[in-house]
Amino acid sequence: MKKSALSLLMVAAMISATACATSETEDNSSELQSTPSQQEISGTEASTDTSTTAGETNTEDPADVPAVWNPDITLRQELQEDGYMCAVAFVGSVEPETTGEQCVEMFYNSQYSKDYPTITDIPEENCIDDCSGYELYLVIPADENATVSVNEWLLTEENEYTGELGQIYYRSETGAPVLIKCNVSDIMSNVVVNIVDNDGNSMQWNPAISLKDGSVSLYGAEDKIYDITHYIYNETNESYRIEG
């Protein structure tokens, strides 16, 4: 009788242990099913990053990129036919502190914007005002694809006043017209303009007013520059005065 009771107790204990083990297994299985796998997480993140990258790459619209300013100027054809590399004009006198914006406004109100209406909207980026000075010049390259550079021109004892290039103020390969504010002294120019056209022809010019007759000095490039400045000629003094 005692042996039978003991057997019953052992069977009951085994059934209880089996039930607990089954319950733990079901609970663990439930937890695993409710938790997303690492692969699922990684896949979601990768998908999100790809979408963001693609969006960033496509934000720039080519239509939003501004066109390079280089207007059509009929004068250019005439210059090339006559063998000139550029046309220049003395626009007027300014103060050293005159800004590029003010220089552009001065040009807009000058006779030259009426003579050449396609460059009336010359942008401020095409006005070189980094060099201090009292004179404002207009330069129109004959070749619309010419390389144009404007540098500081240094005349010192060290170079025996023969001149040498200093810092660069402007460089372009579009041949676009430029305004140049320069010349603190009326004796020496403090900038130099270099132009190289598509045929390899080159010229160098120091903007200045001639102390001899008051006209724009073309010294060293007389056969390559066409002066379009508006003058009033004084026959008595045999000299020029700038209109305006």
Q: What are the extents of the domains in the chain?
A: 2-63, 75-242
pLDDT tens per residue across all 244 residues of the chain:
444 444 444 444 444 544 444 444 444 444 434 444 444 433 434 334 444 444 444 555 555 556 789 999 999 999 999 999 999 999 999 999 999 999 999 999 999 999 999 999 999 999 999 989 999 999 999 999 999 999 999 998 898 888 899 999 999 999 999 999 999 999 899 999 999 999 999 999 999 999 999 999 999 999 999 999 999 988 888 889 887 6
Structure confidence at residue 24 (pLDDT): 47
Structure confidence at residue 124 (pLDDT): 95
Structure confidence at residue 66 (pLDDT): 60
Could you give the CA distance from residue 221 to residue 176 in angstroms, rounded to a whole number? 20
Could you give the CA distance from residue 230 to residue 91 in angstroms, rounded to a whole number? 9
Structure confidence at residue 78 (pLDDT): 97
Structure confidence at residue 62 (pLDDT): 55
Structure confidence at residue 60 (pLDDT): 55
Structure confidence at residue 236 (pLDDT): 86
pLDDT in tens, 50-97: 444 444 445 555 555 567 899 999 999 999 999 999 999 999 999 999
Position 224, amino acid: K
pTM exceeds 0.85 for this model: no
Structure confidence at residue 61 (pLDDT): 59
